[in-house]
Structure 1
Amino acid sequence: MSSTHIPLAERLRPRTLGDVIGQQHLLGEGMALRVAFESGQPHSCILWGPPGVGKTTIARLMADAFDAQFLSISAVLGGVKEIRESVELAIAARDSLDPKRTIMFVDEVHRFNKSQQDAFLPHVESGLFTFIGATTENPSFEVNSALLSRAAVYVLQSLSVDDLTQIIAKAQAIGAVPALEDAALERLIAYADGDARRLLNTLETLSVAANREKLEEINDAWLMRVLGERMRRYDKGGEQFYDTISALHKSVRGSDPDAALYWLVRMLDGGAEPKYMARRLIRMAAEDIGLADPRALRLALDAAEVYERLGSPEGELALAECVVYLAVAPKSNAVYKAYNEAKALIKKDGTRPVPMHLRNAPTKMMKDMDWGKGYRYAHDEEDGFAAGENYMPEGLETTGFYRPVERGLEIKIADKLRHLRDKNKQAGK
């Protein structure tokens, strides 16, 4: 088969431990998994980490390192039948004239139920195969304690910007991807968000499109156009409908109850679905009124429920009552702006690990890993506030997303936040 028909992710899959990008806290010299590889003695383990960080690759490399038969089961597609068939293959490999070890790799092991996970236990104990489970979920919750006690748990991390940059360079080195403008490279890495599989699949899509257009370099504008096409949906006949919705929304925001009521009735009279209108009113309550009057959101939800119970035309009166209330309520888009600023930062910044002191540790394994260590229980502190405590990811300063306005309830909220910030300053934060 031509290499052009082999998925890029498979073409770039590491063939040796030295080819692996990322996870150096496990695979670097003297680190736990590297020592396991070099010992010549495979052991059962669970690889826990987000998608696209190398769990399957590490399992395959382990099989190669120990000259073992590699058997793979997907917990999404497989069941007890597949487990039995794999056990038979492991027995056959062990009892052949040229005996071989078996690595039993179970992808998304958390999706197997208790009885399916139990089916592995006797064979793990007998040494018929080395069990390697991969999971994106916390094994303390999703893997049977009996199986967990027989397997080491290795925590894999999302790939860093440098890791993803190296992967793109490798793809370019084999001619699989055109050159990337700096802005396009940054956006693509942010889009991948630590997931090598997502990065490579996206690169493959971009490469096909770039070759079709005979591009020598991918720039940011072109990248956005191609990625955007995946989700873009636009009804060209709907301009008037959305113009009218816009007029309603802006009348509410502008605190004009008469205009808001006019546009609501005009839309209902024109055949707009009242349930759709109710959803839009809920959105307006959250976006334009927010915490200046939290009752607005509750009233919007109540109006939607009343319409569900009464239907037309009686239920439409509840929508009218809601739209008038929203128009005359104090306005604040502070939460809306804070949400958008946080979303923009997350999109640009990627996924940072949760600080150890903020992690939940309901199991012994997690406590032994220092999860939750040093956490200050706010209820036990003066005024129920742990002055000076940090709740943001390490290295990310509090940026003040939420800035209350001096209207409605947010006046009191602003006073409270100023008081708490003063206490933080006094504590030396």
Structure 2
Amino acid sequence: MNNLLHDAAPDFDQPIAVLKHCHGRIRKQLATLEKLLSHLPEHGADEQARQAAAAVLKYFEKAAHLHHEDEEQDLIPMLRAVAQGEDAATLQALAPVILQDHKDMDAMWQDLHEQLTAIAEGAAAVLSASAVQRFVQRYTSHMEREESVIAPMALRLFSPAQMAQLGAAMQRRRAQLGVPESNKAAVGQAVADLRKDYGQASLNEHEVLDDPMLQFTQWFEQALKAEVNEPNAMTVATVAANGRPSSRIVLVKQFDERGFTWYTNYDSRKAQELADNNFAALLFFWSELERQVRIEGRVERTSDDESDRYFRSRPLKSRLSATASRQSAPIASRAALEENYETVARQAGEDPLRPAYWGGFRLIPERIEFWQGRRSRFHDRIVYERQADGSWTRQRLQP
């Protein structure tokens, strides 16, 4: 009923061919599903049916989601970064349909999963014909859409370096499925061989804007358009009084000519370190666009009014969490933390006030460096430095 041996896949230096090969394997599994519909009424959950059901389960549980992630996390964001004109318009219309297909097919698969599991275990011989037909039809139209538009667009627009980038990401995703214990040391040693060549864009000192905050705004808007994963996430690095650095990821909540603002607990470790040394560094890394922005400067607290306004804008549960948690302080257990939250929730009501120990910080930039990945590690780096009169200078740095 089903050939359990897989055809040899193309190498990852041909990522579009790999994606099409995945489609071929999906079509085989869909054909097996349809054969099961006619097989079960006559033969029940016999050995052949159990093997077929197990094969379909194995593929859609372990492999199909990787194919979706290839498209959601790499292929579509990379296309959005390079598509222009008619290609950009086509992609804008088609990408949401493809992403919705993934969600719908995942939901349909859940309906089939239980039935196939029972068949594979020999516990039942029932398979919904309507569920199979909906699943097969949606997957088939989805693959045809990608093969007729998305794959040709990628083959036409991607450079060899971008193809290599896509293939490397797909290969890493599959390698992460599981590593035998005996191979862990080898994986650690192989880190030095992990490489990704960049080549999506360039950065020219004669084309960047005079004001680095306007340049940052431009790049941030492009990150939003490319649907970068959490474009507002930034690393905040601080230095304690003893000279030891620490860093963590926070979300920038505002940026303008005054600087970059985030909110936190004033008793947290980062706040204590900023009290000892009010200079810090921020880092935004947008891997989908092969870009990073490094920012250094002096940090100050936002005004009480500004912190109050932002606190009131947060969802109620987020306000309660900020009030209940003494960030960075030890606590005996998760249960104790939850108890703190419940106590605060009972006492605070629907409009809790901002606690005095919670508020904003703003980094006033003195140095901003824009980094654009380029081939062979020959990256573009443009740095701006604020002068005593408030103006900015800019220059290229060697990679």
> Is TM (by shorter chain) over 0.5?
no
Does 1 or 2 have the higher relative contact order (CA < 8 Å, sep 6+)? 2
TM range (shorter): under 0.3
| Between structures 1 and 2, the one with greater strand share | 2
Report the TM-score, using the length of structure 2 for normalisation. Answer: 0.23
